[in-house]
């Protein structure tokens, strides 16, 4: 009886070992396939940001964050001092600084001849700066719901989420009066206006809401986790997702969404579209570039700096948040280095 039991036990053990080995091989193959898919989505290993030599670097304050591009200027916000700064792209020099009564904490927008600056004052407020005179024109008693939020301009109005409940305000630019509010999911903070629609990312969720500026009708599309900053271009809205560090591309015609692996999760960051490419920045990964048509990451640069950017005047205007500066990097130089990789 003992011999029979030992033989039976040995057979069961052998079958178990075989099953475990088969399952392990399946797991290994599955992991390899998954890693192969991810590697095909990723560009080559990140390159050092030091290889991108700036044409100029302008010191602005203790920190530098948020960039807005106009036809004749580059505007960047700072703390220490609380201000927005106008840089002349013809000379790469500081042309003017406008002091503010509080921290410019939630993006910059350009419209109606003004630069719009949400302030984290108590209570929150909104600064209106003349693009022509580089002077502070007004402080309106309406402000951002949170830091790291955003602001947009379009259809003759300023758009700003004004509380954590998700109320998107449509603001008349002359008086600062709220014309209408639109209810969005709580934890939505960052608007972007494109082709008659205001798109707002749900930073505390995993979706994006579009509001038709004319009819007020809304539509919601799923994204990656914690989408924060967003841009528009090539028939799509692109969100930088702080939860997984990837970019979601949402086709504005079909609503179809797809993910592009960047591997840069965490707070902060920025995203911009220009000439068929999507550019992102995050601390420790100050620059990444996506080919919009292919939906593929083509290059990344690692190192110090980063956190906000703008594309204009043939350059990437990239802030170094902790250094309190902004650098002008020629787009052609970055793409040439990328092609050389």
pLDDT digits (tens, 9 = 90+) for 260-291: 999 999 999 999 999 999 999 999 999 999 99
Alpha carbon distance 277, 252 (integer Å): 17
C-alpha dist (Å) from residue 284 to 189, 196, 266, 270, 301: 24, 35, 11, 13, 9
14 — pLDDT class (breaks 50, 70, 90): very low
- What percent of the chain has a predicted confidence (pLDDT) above 90? 86
Q: What are phi and psi of 294, to 5 degrees?
A: -85, -20
Q: What is the mean pLDDT of the chain?
A: 89
Q: Which of 36-45, 75-84, 163-172, 323-332 has the lowest mean pLDDT?
A: 36-45
319 closest CA partner among 330, 304, 334: 304
pLDDT digits (tens, 9 = 90+) for 201-222: 999 999 999 999 999 999 999 9
- Beta-bridge partners for 130: 114
221 closest CA partner among 185, 258, 250: 250
Q: Which of 15-24, 40-49, 65-74, 92-101 has the lowest mean pLDDT?
A: 15-24
Report the relative pairing of strands 207-212 and 218-222 from DSSP bridges.
Answer: antiparallel
The structural domains of the chain, with segments of one domain joined by +, span 1-41, 42-340
pLDDT digits (tens, 9 = 90+) for 106-157: 999 999 999 999 999 999 999 999 999 999 999 999 999 999 999 999 999 9
| CATH of 42-340 among 2.40.70.10, 3.40.50.300, 2.130.10.10, 2.40.37.10 | 2.130.10.10
278 closest CA partner among 306, 298, 254, 252: 298
199 closest CA partner among 142, 257, 282: 257
């Amino acid at each position: 009886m003992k011999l029979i039991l030992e033989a039976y036990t040995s057979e069961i053990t052998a079958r178990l070992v075989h099953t475990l080995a088969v399952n392990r091989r399946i797991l290994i193959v599955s992991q390899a396939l998954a890693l192969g898919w991810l590697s095909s989505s990723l560009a080559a290993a990140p390159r050092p940001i030091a290889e991108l030599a700036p044409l100029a670097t302008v010191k602005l304050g203790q920190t530098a964050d948020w960039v807005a591009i106009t036809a004749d200027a580059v505007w960047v916000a700072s703390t220490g001092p609380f201000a927005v700064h106008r840089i002349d792209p013809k000379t790469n020099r500081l042309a003017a600084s406008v002091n503010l009564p509080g921290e410019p904490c939630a993006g910059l927008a350009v419209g109606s001849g003004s630069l719009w600056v949400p302030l984290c004052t108590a209570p929150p407020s909104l600064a209106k700066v003349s693009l022509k005179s580089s002077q502070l024109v007004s402080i309106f008693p309406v402000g951002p719901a949170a830091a790291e939020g955003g602001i947009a301009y379009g259809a003759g109005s300023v758009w700003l989420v004004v509380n954590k409940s998700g109320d998107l305000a449509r603001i008349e630019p002359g008086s600062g009066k709220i014309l209408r509010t639109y209810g969005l999911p709580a934890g939505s903070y960052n608007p972007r206006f494109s082709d008659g629609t205001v798109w707002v990312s749900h930073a505390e969720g995993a979706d994006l809401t579009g509001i038709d500026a004319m009819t007020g009708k809304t539509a919601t599309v799923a994204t990656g986790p914690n989408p924060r900053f967003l841009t528009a271009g090539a028939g799509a809205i692109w969100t930088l997702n702080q939860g997984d560090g990837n970019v979601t591309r949402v086709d504005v015609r079909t609503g179809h969404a797809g993910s592009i692996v960047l591997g840069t999760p965490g707070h902060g960051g920025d995203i911009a579209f220009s000439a068929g490419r999507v550019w992102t920045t995050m601390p420790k990964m100050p620059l990444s570039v996506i080919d919009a048509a292919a939906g593929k990451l083509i290059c990344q640069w690692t190192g110090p700096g980063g956190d906000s950017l703008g594309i204009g005047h043939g350059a990437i205007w990239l802030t170094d948040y902790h250094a309190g500066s902004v650098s002008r990097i020629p787009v052609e130089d970055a793409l040439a280095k990328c092609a050389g990789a």
